[in-house]
């Protein structure tokens, strides 16, 4: 007879504001920010700070495990949004309707770069398979594939004036592609390490590239007229293929590699985001201001040398200059790009994006995604930057240490390093956020009006769910409380701590002085002293046995009424991190840091089955 087993599949994930695998991007209206959330793309309303829509692939469109979003791009001329995934697929979305228009398959590796052209009719994609593919968005088909890079593609940008495409790669090179002939017409070297990002200003005058080198490299872009003019010269054969010409370098203020470089829509600002906490904002001067600055620089240089009696020398060879017609003034890269200000975030910055809409009282709005599940919005001004908004209440800032469901499964309690959050498990929305200590475990009190949180400091915090307040903090243990378990008779609970104690508590309803109503409080009724740190405590459904997992890799089973030792379970090579007792009280299941799961009998304490279950240590286990 064929055996049938229960199959469990992931149903939903929530609490993710911005995951670190992909970039963020504003939509064409500037009202919404697109942020990756594992396999989904969240559409966040910037002013309201809420997620208005989620772009999620349907379960019927793909089989197997959900794959994370690895790249996002939005069209500036339409509501279309492109998202690339770890399996190499690309989905085109209508952000207004929230519907998937088409799915494009062509890459064999994760999509690492996406970019629409100005009309939104074409989409270029780069991948870990080292290939670049140009897609027809209207016809929903691939046009051609470009091969030449020897490592994964990191970024790409269109040059609309000459129908060119510039790509960057980890192979340290930039390549300029002619989209009409579908061949590489120029290879740009100079970077000593991987090139991570490139961008071009809206007027297509300058190209900037950032790598793991300590400098930003700038290039000038020739239009078709310049190319034809060069082709008519004596050296025309050598110059007609040179679309991008090196202009100079600017030293960055941090040693971290470049993460993203982006011009704003008006082209007067350039943002350089490093892999650390710093974002450098450069002011892009126009032609008149650049000439004026170059003249002042040369004048100061002549005065300085004349005062020393030195002989006039040529410009530094490391900074090639462009000679403006009729002026004779040599303009270098520092005459055009001037450091305006520096943004220092609280955590590492994962991605940045300029809003396409320029505010009235500032130069631009810049969005940052941080690696602690946070989105921040800064207003860039001439003299300073100001943080306008932070989207943070919809998720935790650090690891989630425990999860607890209410008795009716209508609420979910999660604990973290500084806050407790109450969720609706059906919709994934955050209902309450309550400041707390470093919560390691949690428990709903019967009738789901209150919740208990065991903290790293050894206190038990009593939380009123209705008012979203912490009403009392009880000094329960001298060490971290690792486990908190309800007693089946619903009259109390048990805590286990690193101070070697297992304590039994009772619920009490009292009215304290100065309070208008009665509140829940707890009192310790008895204790059990152990020989090592207590990691997990479990109680059988009939309240006959209590099992205690210790740091010495053993599990001790006691009689609940007399607290006398009944069994000691040996077998795990590392401490037990989670355990549970079956509903009939005959079996106990333990999950250990040695990656094994063991099923024991509670009659003689023998191991019935040992399973190698996970590639990493166990953290939680529940009896369904």
Residues 6+ apart with CB under 8 A from 367: 24, 26, 33, 46, 352, 353, 354, 355, 375, 376, 377, 378
Q: Report residue 309's pLDDT band, with 50, 70 and 90 as the boundaries.
A: low
Q: Tell me, what DSSP letter sits at residue 359?
A: P
Extract long-range pairs of 375-384: CB within 8 Å, 24+ residues apart: 375/17, 375/18, 375/24, 375/33, 375/35, 375/44, 376/345, 377/46, 378/343, 380/269, 380/281, 380/340, 380/341, 382/340, 383/341, 384/341
Predicted confidence (pLDDT) at residue 390 exceeds the cutoff of 50: yes
Q: Report residue 235's pLDDT band, with 50, 70 and 90 as the boundaries.
A: very low
Six-digit token pair at 72? 């996002």
Same fold, 11-143 and 402-612: yes
Evaluate whether the domain defined by 402-612 bears CATH number 2.130.10.10: yes
Q: What is the mean pLDDT of residues 107-120?
A: 95
% of the chain beyond a pLDDT of 90:
76
The confidence score (pLDDT) of residue 623 equals 53
Cβ(574)–Cβ(592) below 8 Å = yes
Average pLDDT, the chain: 89
Residues 6+ apart with CB under 8 A from 444: 404, 405, 406, 407, 411, 413, 450, 451, 452
Six-digit token pair at 492? 């109390």
Six-digit token pair at 421? 């959050």
Residues 6+ apart with CB under 8 A from 506: 491, 492, 522, 523, 525
Summarize pLDDT for 522-555 with one digit per residue, the tens: 999 999 999 999 999 999 999 999 999 999 999 9
Summarize pLDDT for 574-614 with one digit per residue, the tens: 999 999 999 999 999 999 999 899 999 999 999 999 988 76
Domain boundaries, the chain: 11-143, 402-612
Residues 6+ apart with CB under 8 A from 561: none
Predicted confidence (pLDDT) at residue 326 exceeds the cutoff of 60: no
The confidence score (pLDDT) of residue 317 equals 37
Among the ranges given (134-143, 202-211, 227-236), the one the predictor scored with the smallest mean pLDDT: 227-236
Predicted confidence (pLDDT) at residue 319 exceeds the cutoff of 50: no
Predicted confidence (pLDDT) at residue 323 exceeds the cutoff of 70: no
Q: Report residue 299's pLDDT band, with 50, 70 and 90 as the boundaries.
A: confident
Give CA 577 to chain center in angstroms: 28
Q: Is 516 left (phi over 0), alpha (psi -120 to 50) or beta?
A: alpha
Beta bridge partners, 51, equal: 44
Predicted confidence (pLDDT) at residue 190 exceeds the cutoff of 60: yes
Q: Report residue 186's pLDDT band, with 50, 70 and 90 as the boundaries.
A: very high
Q: Report residue 60's pLDDT band, with 50, 70 and 90 as the boundaries.
A: low
Q: For residues 395, 397, 402 and 407, what is the CA-based torsion angle, rounded to 10 degrees?
A: -30
> Other C-beta atoms within 10 Å of 215: how many?
18
Instruction: Give the residue, 299 or 31, on which the prediction is more confident.
Output: 31
CA dist list (Å): 539 to 554, 600, 609, 622: 16, 15, 21, 12
Cβ(59)–Cβ(67) below 8 Å = no
Cβ(400)–Cβ(389) below 8 Å = no
CA–CA dist 298, 335 (Å, integer): 11
Cβ(40)–Cβ(59) below 8 Å = no
Q: Report residue 489's pLDDT band, with 50, 70 and 90 as the boundaries.
A: confident
H or E element at residue 299: helix 287-308
The confidence score (pLDDT) of residue 414 equals 96
CA–CA dist 333, 245 (Å, integer): 12
Cβ(449)–Cβ(465) below 8 Å = yes
Predicted confidence (pLDDT) at residue 513 exceeds the cutoff of 90: no
H or E element at residue 298: helix 287-308
Q: How many residues does the chain have?
A: 624
Instruction: Give the residue, 574 or 315, on which the prediction is more confident.
Output: 574
Summarize pLDDT for 328-380 with one digit per residue, the tens: 568 899 999 999 999 999 999 999 999 999 988 899 999 999 999 999 999 99
Q: Report residue 325's pLDDT band, with 50, 70 and 90 as the boundaries.
A: very low
Summarize pLDDT for 198-224 with one digit per residue, the tens: 999 999 999 999 999 999 999 999 876
Q: Report residue 13's pLDDT band, with 50, 70 and 90 as the boundaries.
A: confident
The CATH number corresponding to 11-143 among 1.20.120.140, 3.30.67.10, 2.130.10.10, 3.20.20.70 equals 2.130.10.10
Among the ranges given (8-22, 32-46, 55-69, 102-116), the one the predictor scored with the smallest mean pLDDT: 55-69
The confidence score (pLDDT) of residue 486 equals 95
The confidence score (pLDDT) of residue 620 equals 62
Q: What is the mean pLDDT of residues 396-409?
A: 93
């Amino acid at each position: 007879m064929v055996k049938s087993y229960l199959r469990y599949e992931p149903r939903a994930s929530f609490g993710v504001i911005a995951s670190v695998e992909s970039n963020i991007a504003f939509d064409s209206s500037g009202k919404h920010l697109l942020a990756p959330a594992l396999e989904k793309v969240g559409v966040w309303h910037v002013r309201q700070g809420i997620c208005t829509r989620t772009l999620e692939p349907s379960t019927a469109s793909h089989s197997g495990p959900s794959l994370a979003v690895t790249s996002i791009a939005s069209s500036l001329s339409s509501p279309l949004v492109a998202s690339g995934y770890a399996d190499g697929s690309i989905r085109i979305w209508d952000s207004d309707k929230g519907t998937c228009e088409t799915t494009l398959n062509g890459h064999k590796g994760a999509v690492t770069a996406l970019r629409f052209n100005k009309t939104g009719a074409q989409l270029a994609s780069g991948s870990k398979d080292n290939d670049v593919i140009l897609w027809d968005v209207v016809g929903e088909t691939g046009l051609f594939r470009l091969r030449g890079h020897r490592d994964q593609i990191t970024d790409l940008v269109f040059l609309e004036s000459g129908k060119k495409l510039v790509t960057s790669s980890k192979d340290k090179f930039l390549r300029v592609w002619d989209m009409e002939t579908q061949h590489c017409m120029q290879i740009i070297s100079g970077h000593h390490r991987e090139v991570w990002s490139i961008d071009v200003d809206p007027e297509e005058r300058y190209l900037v590239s950032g790598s793991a080198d300590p400098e930003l490299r700038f290039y000038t872009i020739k239009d078709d007229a310049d190319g034809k003019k060069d082709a008519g010269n004596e050296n025309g054969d050598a110059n007609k293929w040179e679309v991008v010409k090196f202009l100079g370098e600017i030293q960055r203020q941090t040693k971290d590699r470049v993460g993203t470089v982006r011009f704003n829509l008006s082209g007067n600002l350039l943002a350089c985001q490093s892999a650390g906490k710093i974002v450098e904002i450069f002011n892009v001067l126009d032609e008149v201001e650049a000439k004026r600055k170059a003249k002042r620089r040369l004048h100061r240089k002549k005065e300085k040398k004349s005062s020393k009696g030195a002989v006039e020398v040529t410009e530094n060879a490391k900074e090639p200059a462009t000679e403006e017609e009729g002026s004779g003034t040599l303009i270098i890269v520092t005459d055009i790009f001037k450091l305006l200000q520096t943004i220092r975030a609280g955590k590492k910055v994962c991605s940045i994006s300029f809003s396409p809409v320029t505010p009235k009282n500032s130069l631009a709005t810049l969005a940052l995604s941080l690696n602690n599940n946070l989105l921040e919005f800064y207003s860039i001004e001439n003299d300073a930057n100001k943080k306008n908004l932070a989207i943070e209440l919809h998720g935790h800032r650090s690891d989630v240490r425990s999860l607890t469901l209410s008795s009716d499964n209508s609420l979910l309690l999660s604990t973290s390093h500084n806050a407790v959050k109450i969720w609706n498990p059906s919709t994934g929305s955050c209902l309450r956020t309550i400041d707390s200590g470093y919560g390691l475990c949690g428990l709903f009190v019967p009738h789901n009006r209150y919740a208990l949180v065991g903290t790293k400091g050894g206190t038990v915090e009593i939380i009123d769910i209705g008012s979203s307040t912490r009403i009392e903090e009880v000094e329960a243990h001298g060490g971290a409380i690792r486990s908190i378990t309800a007693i089946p008779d619903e009259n109390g609970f048990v805590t286990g701590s690193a101070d070697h104690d297992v304590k039994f508590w009772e619920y009490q309803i009292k009215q304290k002085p100065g309070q208008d109503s009665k509140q829940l409080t707890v009192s310790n009724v008895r204790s059990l002293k152990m020989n090592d740190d207590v990691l997990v405590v479990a109680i059988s459904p009939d309240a006959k046995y209590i099992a205690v997992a210790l740091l010495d890799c053993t599990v001790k089973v006691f009689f609940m009424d007399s607290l006398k030792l009944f069994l000691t379970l040996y077998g795990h090579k590392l401490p037990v991190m989670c355990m549970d007792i079956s509903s009939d009280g005959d079996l106990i299941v333990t999950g250990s840091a040695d990656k094994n799961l063991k099923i024991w009998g509670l009659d003689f304490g023998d191991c019935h089955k040992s399973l190698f279950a996970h590639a990493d240590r166990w953290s939680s286990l529940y009896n369904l």
